[in-house]
Amino acid sequence: MKEATKYIHAGTEPDPSTGAIMTPIYQTSTYVQQAPGKHKGYEYARSQNPTRTALERAFAEIENAAYGLAFSSGVAATDAVIKLLAPGDEVICANDMYGGTYRLFTKVFEKFGIRFIYVDTTNVSNIANAITANTKLVWLETPTNPLMNITDIAAVAALTRPKNILMAVDNTFATPFLQRPIELGADLVMHSVTKYLGGHSDVIQGSLMMNSPELREKLYFIQKSCGAVPGPMDCFLVLRGIKTLHVRMKAHCENGAKIAHWLRNHSKIGKVYWPGFEDHPGYRIATKQMADFGGMLSFVLKNDSVEEAMRVLSSTKLFALAESLGGVESLINHPASMTHASIPREERIKNGLSDSLIRLSVGIEDADDLIDDLRQAIG
């Protein structure tokens, strides 16, 4: 099935009781049983809900995976993956990743005896060198938030597969429209559904996709035992969002490319972080594993002044100053004080995230209007 058809039809069938073409919002906590233990596959809504089931089918289909699971947020999905581990286990992860993932790893799970080893995953040999007998998971994010670093997913899978080390990819920035890590050898894909899959800045949700039935069983057990499940209304909103993922992503990519090139040619702009530039260190891998470069980019001003960056951040009119990303509307963000403030400053600086870095989530408005807005804000 071709991409566009898949996004429109993923997971959904006419409702069996009425024929409703859209999956109803099954706003219920429990289900009446015909006799004790005799039911239609639905017992209690923490374990199963038909709206969520339809969405979980859709998650699987869009990543070309066998199974999908929905969680109440992206970090709840990540949390479920780490709960597969036991004290003494080690996780190798990127030194440049979403601040909330870093916070979950260091502030919540380290005290349970799980060790996190941070390396520059863009160089796969750094991962190879960090593997020990205790390594149970490699956690990748590509492109990374906010520096747009690219890691070769297939090369990492070639390393982890023979050693039976799980490999998970946070695919939030790329979406399955641009990159499908399971096809490249990943065991697990995680999404902050809050971002592009939802697509309209109106829902918090996370997902996991996988091929292995054993992995699905273990993660389903964690999902129902720990209870971080999304409500049916949120599942409905995401089912609706996914129907236009391909249309939105094409527009995000087109606007992202226009703005990246425009910024790069601006006399006041220093470095622009966008994997579509041929001199981006990850360009070759990005063109190999991604269909296009997405709508996320970051930049610094030529004079690297924090005061100037703050002035630009407060001067845009269309780009709203807000955390989050992936909605139809454009957002501007200051990672050091907003999305990545939970990472200690010296760690941020060491990993190349400067105090003057500005991140854009380029929406699908008219590109000329977005450029006009940036022009007046940069001055």
Ligand X SMILES: *Cc1c(COP(=O)(O)O)cnc(C)c1O
Q: Which of 31, 46, 264, 311 is catalytic?
A: 46
Angle (nearest 5°) at CA 157 between 152 and 160: 130
316 binding ligand X? (CB under 6 A): no
Alpha helices, DSSP H only, in the chain?
A: 3-9, 50-62, 74-82, 99-103, 124-130, 153-160, 175-178, 213-226, 232-242, 245-264, 283-289, 306-313, 345-350, 367-378
Instruction: Give the integer Cα–Cα distance in Å for 99 and 93.
Output: 13
Interhelix angle for 50-62 vs 232-242, to 10°?
Answer: 30
Q: Which is nearer to ligand X, 160 or 201 (CB)?
A: 201
Cα-Cα end-to-end distance for the chain: 48
Q: Which is nearer to ligand X, 78 or 377 (CB)?
A: 78
Nearest residue to ligand X by CB is 74
Interhelix angle for 213-226 vs 74-82, to 10°?
Answer: 110
211 binding ligand X? (CB under 6 A): no
Taking residues 49 to 88 in sequence order and writing x for each that binds ligand X by CB under 6 A, - otherwise, the string is: ------------------------xxx-------------
Task: Using alpha carbons, select from 171, 98, 77, 73 the residue that is nearest to residue 359.
Answer: 98
Task: Indicate if 46 belongs to the active site.
Answer: yes
Structure token digits, residue 16: 């069996």
- Least Å distance, CB 270 to ligand X, is 24
Task: Indicate if 98 belongs to the active site.
Answer: yes
192 binding ligand X? (CB under 6 A): yes
Task: Indicate if 195 belongs to the active site.
Answer: yes
What count of other Cβ atoms lies within 10 Å of the Cβ of residue 44?
13
351 binding ligand X? (CB under 6 A): no
335 binding ligand X? (CB under 6 A): no
Pick the binder of ligand X from 101, 151, 223, 289 (CB under 6 A).
Answer: 101
Structure token digits, residue 318: 């269309």
Pick the binder of ligand X from 100, 176, 199, 295 (CB under 6 A).
Answer: 100
Q: Contact at 8 Å (CB) between 152 and 285?
A: yes
331 binding ligand X? (CB under 6 A): no
Pick the binder of ligand X from 98, 116, 177, 236 (CB under 6 A).
Answer: 98
Instruction: Give the integer Cα–Cα distance in Å for 348 and 330.
Output: 25
Q: Which of 7, 26, 67, 98 is catalytic?
A: 98
- Least Å distance, CB 331 to ligand X, is 12
145 binding ligand X? (CB under 6 A): yes
206 binding ligand X? (CB under 6 A): yes
Task: Indicate if 240 belongs to the active site.
Answer: no
Taking residues 169 to 188 in sequence order and writing x for each that binds ligand X by CB under 6 A, - otherwise, the string is: -x-xx---------------
- Least Å distance, CB 205 to ligand X, is 6
Task: Using alpha carbons, select from 314, 313, 275, 309 the residue that is nearest to residue 295.
Answer: 275
Q: Contact at 8 Å (CB) between 244 and 353?
A: no
194 binding ligand X? (CB under 6 A): yes
Instruction: Give the integer Cα–Cα distance in Å for 209 and 186.
Output: 10
Q: Which is nearer to ligand X, 6 or 191 (CB)?
A: 191
135 binding ligand X? (CB under 6 A): no
Q: Which of 79, 96, 152, 170 is catalytic?
A: 170
151 binding ligand X? (CB under 6 A): no
Q: Which is nearer to ligand X, 48 or 144 (CB)?
A: 144
SS3 80: helix
Interacting residue ranges for ligand X, rule: CB under 6 A: 73-75, 98, 100-101, 141, 145, 170, 172-173, 192, 194-195, 204, 206
Active site residues: 46, 98, 170, 195
